[in-house]
Amino acid sequence: MAADSTLLLSLVEEYVSGLQDSKAKDTATGIKDGQFTILQLVEALGLSLTSSQPHTRARGVQLLSEVLQECHEGLTEGEVEVLIAFFENRLKDHYVITPPVLQGLRALTKCTVLPPGSAVSMLRSLFQDVHVQSLMLTERSCVYKMLINLMESREAELKGLGADFVFGFLQSMDGERDPRNLLLAFQIANNIIHRGYDLGKFAEELFEVTSCYFPIDFTPPPNDPHGISKEELVQMLRNVLTGTPKFAEFLLPLIIEKLDSDVLSAKLDSLQTLTACVSQYEHKDLAEFLEGLWASLRREVFQTSSEKIESAGLDALTAITSCLSRSVLNSDSEDSLCTFLDLVLRDCKHHLSEPDLKLVWPSAKLLQAACSASNRASHIITAAVMPSLLEQYDNRTQCSHRRTILEVVQRFVQSVKTSQSAEKEESVFVAFRPSLCTMVFSALNENNSSLQKTATSVLTSLAQQPGLLLDSDIELAVDHLTKLLLAEEDEGVSLAVVECAGALAELYPEAFITKLIPRLKMEMFSDPIDQDNNRAVSEHQSHHAVCKRCLSALAAVSTQARIVHESTPVLLEVLSSAHTGSVGFSVDQVVLACRSLQRIAEKVQDTEETGRCFHDLVIPRLLSLSLQAALQGEESSGHRSPLLEESVLSAMVPVISTSCSRLQPALAEQTALKAVSLFLNGDVSSLPNNSFPSHIQLLKQQGDSWSQSQLVCLLMGCVCSLPRSVEVPQVEQLLSELEEMSCTCTHPLSYTSAAKCFAGLINKRPQGEDLDRLIQRTMKRVYTELDSASSSACTQAFTLLVWVAKALLLRYHPLSTTLTDKLFSLLDNADLGPMAAESFSLLMSDTTDLLNRGCHADVRIMYRQRFFSENSAKLVQGFNAAPQEKKTNYLKALSNIVNNLPKQVQISELPRLLSLLLEALSCPDQAVQLSTLSCLEPVLADPLPALIQQLEALINRLIALNSSPAMSVRIASLRCIHAVSHFPEHEILPFRARVLRALARPLDDKKRLVRTEAVRARGEWFLLGSPGGR
Amino acid sequence: MSGGTHLENANPVIFQRTGERLQTATEEDEDFHDPIDDREIFDMIRSINDPEHPLSLEELNVVEQIRVKVNDAESIVGIEFTPTIPHCSMATLIGLSIKVKLLRSLPNRFKIDVHITPGTHASEDAVNKQLADKERVAAALENSSLLEVVNQCLSTKSS
Q: What is the pLDDT of residues A185-235, one digit of tens each?
A: 999 999 998 888 888 888 899 999 999 998 888 888 877 777 788 888 999
Q: At B46, is the pLDDT very low, low, confident or very high (cuts 50, 70, 90)?
A: very high
Q: What is the pLDDT of residues A1013-1028, one digit of tens each?
A: 999 999 999 999 888 7
Closest listed residue to residue A802, CA positions, set A836, A773, A833: A836
Instruction: Please report the pLDDT score of residue A908 as a whole number.
Output: 80
Q: What is the pLDDT of residues A245-302, one digit of tens each?
A: 889 999 999 999 998 888 888 899 999 999 999 988 888 888 889 999 999 999 988 8
User: Is B107's CB within 8 Å of A1004's CB?
Assistant: yes
B17 min Cα distance to partner chain A (Å): 12
Position A423 pLDDT exceeds 60: no
Q: A1026 in contact with B at a CB cutoff of 8 Å?
A: yes
Q: B156 in contact with A at a CB cutoff of 8 Å?
A: yes
- A527, A584 Cβ separation under 8 angstroms: yes
Instruction: Please report the pLDDT score of residue A531 as a whole number.
Output: 47
Is position B25 within any domain? no
Distance of alpha carbon A804 from the chain centroid: 34
Q: Which of A259, A1019, A1030 sits opposite B104 (nearest CB)?
A: A1019
Mutate which of A256, A259, A267, A303 to test chain B, going by most B C-beta atoms within 10 A?
A: A303
**Chain A residue with Cα closest to B110:** A1004
Instruction: Please report the pLDDT score of residue B159 as a whole number.
Output: 39
Position B2 pLDDT exceeds 50: no
Is position B89 within any domain? yes
Instruction: Please report the pLDDT score of residue A114 as a whole number.
Output: 84
Instruction: Please report the pLDDT score of residue A333 as a whole number.
Output: 65
Least confident of A410-419, A450-459, A831-840, A868-877: A410-419
User: Is A1019's CB within 8 Å of B23's CB?
Assistant: no
Q: What percent of chain B has pLDDT over 90?
A: 50
Q: What is the C-alpha separation between A364 and A413, in angstroms, rounded?
A: 12
Between these two residues, A419 and A854, which has the higher pLDDT value? A854
Distance of alpha carbon A689 from the chain centroid: 48
Q: B46 in contact with A at a CB cutoff of 8 Å?
A: no
> Domain A918-1030 has what CATH class?
mainly alpha
3-state SS, residue A963: coil
Q: What is the C-alpha separation between A837 and A821, in angstroms, rounded?
A: 13
Position A794 pLDDT exceeds 70: yes
Position A959 pLDDT exceeds 90: yes
Position A336 pLDDT exceeds 50: yes
Is position B13 within any domain? no
Instruction: Please report the pLDDT score of residue B1 as a whole number.
Output: 36
User: Is B14's CB within 8 Å of A304's CB?
Assistant: no
A274 min Cα distance to partner chain B (Å): 18
Instruction: Please report the pLDDT score of residue B3 as a whole number.
Output: 37
In B, which residues are within 8 Å of A1029 by CB distance? 151, 155
Instruction: Please report the pLDDT score of residue B100 as a whole number.
Output: 93
Q: What is the C-alpha separation between A1026 and A46, in angstroms, rounded?
A: 73
Instruction: Please report the pLDDT score of residue A753 as a whole number.
Output: 93
User: Is B27's CB within 8 Å of A1008's CB?
Assistant: yes
Position A433 pLDDT exceeds 60: yes
Closest listed residue to residue A213, CA positions, set A166, A248, A178, A162: A178
Q: Which residues of A786-822 are buried (b: 16+ CB within 10 A; e: fewer)?
A: beeeeeebbbbbbbbbbbbbbbbbbbebeebeebbeb
Least confident of A377-381, A581-585, A949-953, B21-25: A581-585
User: Is B27's CB within 8 Å of A1009's CB?
Assistant: yes
Question: What are the distances in angstroms from CA A152 to CA A103, A159, A188, A236, A611?
Answer: 18, 12, 10, 18, 60
Position A917 pLDDT exceeds 50: yes
Provide the chain A residues 259-278 that lie in CB contact (below 8 A) with chain B.
Answer: 259-262
Least confident of A45-54, A709-718, B97-106: A45-54
Q: What percent of chain A has pLDDT over 90?
A: 29
A&B contacts, CB < 8 Å: 99
B119 min Cα distance to partner chain A (Å): 23
Between these two residues, A537 and A620, which has the higher pLDDT value? A620
Mutate which of B70, B97, B154 to test chain A, going by most A C-beta atoms within 10 A?
A: B154
Position A421 pLDDT exceeds 60: no
- A559, A603 Cβ separation under 8 angstroms: yes
User: Is A1007's CB within 8 Å of B154's CB?
Assistant: no
User: Is B149's CB within 8 Å of A1006's CB?
Assistant: no
**Chain B residue with Cα closest to A261:** B2
B154: Cβ–Cβ under 8 A, 6 or more apart, which residues?
A1019, A1022, A1023, B48, B49, B97, B100, B101, B104
**Chain B residue with Cα closest to A965:** B30
Q: A295 in contact with B at a CB cutoff of 8 Å?
A: no
Least confident of A703-707, A729-733, A862-866: A703-707
- Give, rounded to a whole angstrom, the gap between the first and last alpha carbons of chain A: 77
Q: B55 in contact with A at a CB cutoff of 8 Å?
A: yes
H-state helical runs in A110-200: 118-129, 137-153, 155-160, 163-173, 179-194
Position A121 pLDDT exceeds 70: yes
In A, which residues are within 8 Å of B36 by CB distance? 1008, 1011
A724: Cβ–Cβ under 8 A, 6 or more apart, which residues?
A764, A856, A858
Least confident of A524-533, A662-671, A852-861: A524-533
User: What is the residue-averaged pLDDT of chain B?
Assistant: 87
Exposed / middle / buried, residue A201 (Cβ in 10 Å: 0-12, 13-18, 19+): exposed
Q: B104 in contact with A at a CB cutoff of 8 Å?
A: yes
A579 min Cα distance to partner chain B (Å): 34
- B47, B58 Cβ separation under 8 angstroms: yes
In A, which residues are within 8 Å of B28 by CB distance? 967, 1009
Q: What is the pLDDT of residues A971-1009, one digit of tens each?
A: 999 999 999 998 988 899 999 999 999 999 999 999 999
Position A641 pLDDT exceeds 70: yes
In A, which residues are within 8 Å of B109 by CB distance? 1004
Number of domains comprising chain B: 1
- A564, A613 Cβ separation under 8 angstroms: yes
User: Is A400's CB within 8 Å of B104's CB?
Assistant: no
Task: Please write down the HEC assignment for all residues of A75-119.
Answer: CCHHHHHHHHHHHHHHCCCCHHHHHHHHHHHHHHHCCCCCCCCHH
Q: What is the C-alpha separation between A926 and A907, in angstroms, rounded?
A: 24
Mutate which of A357, A398, A1007 to test chain B, going by most B C-beta atoms within 10 A?
A: A1007
DSSP for A600-640, please give it.
Answer: HHHHS---HHHHHIIIIIIHHHHHHHHHHHHHHHHH--SSP
3-state SS, residue A702: strand
Instruction: Please report the pLDDT score of residue A954 as a whole number.
Output: 92
User: What is the residue-averaged pLDDT of chain A?
Assistant: 87
Stretch A402-428: mean pLDDT = 77
Q: At A529, is the pLDDT very low, low, confident or very high (cuts 50, 70, 90)?
A: low
Position A1029 pLDDT exceeds 80: no
Beta carbons within 10 angstroms of residue B86's beta carbon: 12
Instruction: Please report the pLDDT score of residue A704 as a whole number.
Output: 64
User: Is B11's CB within 8 Å of A1026's CB?
Assistant: no
User: Is B54's CB within 8 Å of A305's CB?
Assistant: yes
Q: B75 in contact with A at a CB cutoff of 8 Å?
A: no
In B, which residues are within 8 Å of A1026 by CB distance? 147, 151
Q: At A319, is the pLDDT very low, low, confident or very high (cuts 50, 70, 90)?
A: very high
Position A840 pLDDT exceeds 50: yes
Q: Which of A965, A1008, A1028 sits opposite B34 (nearest CB)?
A: A1008
Position A787 pLDDT exceeds 90: no
Rg (CA), chain B: 16
User: Is B11's CB within 8 Å of A354's CB?
Assistant: yes
Domain locations along chain A: 1-108, 766-901, 918-1030
3-state SS, residue A897: helix
Is position B18 within any domain? no
Instruction: Please report the pLDDT score of residue B4 as a whole number.
Output: 38
Position A1 pLDDT exceeds 70: no
Stretch A773-783: mean pLDDT = 91
Between these two residues, A371 and A226, which has the higher pLDDT value? A371
Q: Give the structural domain span for B147.
A: 32-154
Instruction: Please report the pLDDT score of residue A539 as a whole number.
Output: 67
The distance between the two most distant Cα atoms of chain B, rounded to a whole number of Å, is 58
**Chain A residue with Cα closest to B109:** A1004
In A, which residues are within 8 Å of B7 by CB distance? 303
Least confident of A578-582, A635-639, A714-718, A872-876: A635-639
Strand order of the β-sheet with B111-116 is: B68-71, B76-81, B111-116
Position A848 pLDDT exceeds 60: yes
A552 min Cα distance to partner chain B (Å): 25
Phi, psi of A586 (to 5 degrees): -85, 170
Q: What is the C-alpha separation between A362 and A351, in angstroms, rounded?
A: 9
Is position B21 within any domain? no
Beta carbons within 10 angstroms of residue B24's beta carbon: 11
Instruction: Please report the pLDDT score of residue A282 as a whole number.
Output: 84
Q: A177 in contact with B at a CB cutoff of 8 Å?
A: no
Closest listed residue to residue A564, CA positions, set A518, A605, A619: A605
Is position B22 within any domain? no
Exposed / middle / buried, residue A448 (Cβ in 10 Å: 0-12, 13-18, 19+): middle
Least confident of A597-606, A664-673, A897-906, B135-144: A897-906
Q: B148 in contact with A at a CB cutoff of 8 Å?
A: yes
Position A746 pLDDT exceeds 50: yes
Exposed / middle / buried, residue B144 (Cβ in 10 Å: 0-12, 13-18, 19+): exposed
User: Is B147's CB within 8 Å of A351's CB?
Assistant: no
Instruction: Please report the pLDDT score of residue A790 as a whole number.
Output: 66
CATH code of residue B114: 3.30.300.130
- The C-alpha torsion from A660 through A665 and A669 to A675, rounded to 10°, is -10
- A958, A980 Cβ separation under 8 angstroms: yes
Q: What is the C-alpha separation between A479 and A441, in angstroms, rounded?
A: 10
